[in-house]
Amino acid sequence: MMENRHIFLVDMQSFYASVEKMDNPSLNDKPVIVSGDPERRSGVVLAACPLAKKYGVQNAERLWEAQQKCPQATIVRPRMQRYLDVSYEITKMLETFTDLVEPYSVDEQFLDVTRSQRFFGEPFEIAEKIKIAIEQGEETKGIKARIGIGPNKVLAKMACDNFAKKNPKGIFRLDETNLKKDLWPLPIGKMFGVGSRMEKHLQRMGIRQIGHLANFPLQKLKRRWGINGQVLWLTANGIDYSPVTLKTYEQQKAVGHHMTLPRDYRKLDDIKVVLLELSEEVARRARTKNYRGSTVSISVRGADFDFPTRLNRQVKLLSPTNDGMTIFKAAFQLFCQHWDRLPIRSAGVALSQLQPASALQLGLFDFDAVLKRESLNSAIDAIYQKYGASSIVRASSLTDAGQAFERAKKIGGHYK
């Protein structure tokens, strides 16, 4: 039997586009597309309002394709800081219904309202009150929410994605009473946790619907994918024991940064500049979060958009670090070893196997060097915090290949 909990996944409809319409009422009756800057190779649809979606516009497709479908659409550059501010206002509003609010993304939040019923009514009543509060709120007026309800987070998420978004009321509950009838007939690609690659693997095994996976022998899935196979089986059966928690981001697994380049980078010297900037940014973030990491990884995408090559490699360090130059040396060596010499359009660096930064390992022969590096990084962080992201950069960032000043204008890869 499933636990008698009442978990919500609250999702904001076309969130970025809705915020733009809220701030600019003249856009209310027009199709709106929020997209990155096509001149800087970031022309991808981040959000499309319902009017634009009626023309077939989809999130994550290239802007020029969306404009062919809906040439009359108004294109708006994203304002990430504004979206984060509105998201924070929504979080504060949700916290008036329960103290168990877990942000899942900028436009999605989990709530546990099990103990809120004595104050606000049954789960459907609470969901309706939340929708009204958001839509009529002073800071969120006009933004529509869709709410999935379930006895756990995974069912609440699938209830929202697959049913609430298509339901006229924008609310749907998924539990053991309708799991087999409503969820199991859906294509396997509709299940939470199944991406395009996994979808193809499962289809080759004859698993075409979520119900097929739910009834597939668990041991066969575990033999093929280990613990991930078990997680897939549990999800298909609507089983999830993870609580709604306020500590979602306290135990981070990795710190990384990835960027799409403004042009194809063909020269090793240019790519070297970008990898150094990314490594410095990752190191600074790790220090801010008080982490050191033992594994450095790189991810690179080739310039051919239709048939892209990909490079993903990682290396274990001798000791944990949060120093930018140490991370860069490992990242650059990985890249040089595995690069196919074809132009690249994006690159990323990440630091994983994290541990508290207080656990600093000092060697007998590099004791002074390590302490000097620690002092230097502390000074750089202080300057960065006081004067901003572009207040101190390496000389290489002043070249044409450098992107440090452009990145300083952005949050999450998009303009503030």
Active site residues: 108
The pair of three-digit structure tokens given for residue 410, joined into one six-digit string: 């952005």
Identify the three-state secondary structure at position 352: strand
Detail the DSSP E strand segments found in 187-336. 254-265, 291-302, 310-321
The pair of three-digit structure tokens given for residue 115, joined into one six-digit string: 């103990």
Q: Residue 161 annotated as binding?
A: no
Query: Of 11, 32, 29, 9, which is closest to residue 20 (Cα–Cα)?
Result: 32
Q: How far is CA 160 from the centre of its chain?
A: 18
Query: Of 93, 97, 136, 94, which is closest to residue 120 (Cα–Cα)?
Result: 97
Contact (CB, 8 A) for 173 and 158: no
List Cα–Cα distances, 344 to 39, 276, 300, in angstroms: 17, 16, 7
What is the rounded distance in angstroms from the CA atom of residue 165 to the CA atom of residue 171?
Answer: 8
User: Which residue type is seen at 303?
Assistant: A
Q: What are phi and psi of 362, to 5 degrees?
A: -110, 130
The pair of three-digit structure tokens given for residue 114, joined into one six-digit string: 């099990």
In order, the DSSP letters of 55-113 are: TT--TTSBHHHHHHH-TTPEEE---HHHHHHHHHHHHHHHTTT-S-EEEEETTEEEEE-
The pair of three-digit structure tokens given for residue 390, joined into one six-digit string: 């572009």
Which class for 386: exposed (0-12), middle (13-18), buried (19 or more C-beta within 10 A)? exposed
List Cα–Cα distances, 92 to 86, 98, 139, in angstroms: 10, 10, 11
Q: What's the DSSP call for residue 243?
A: P
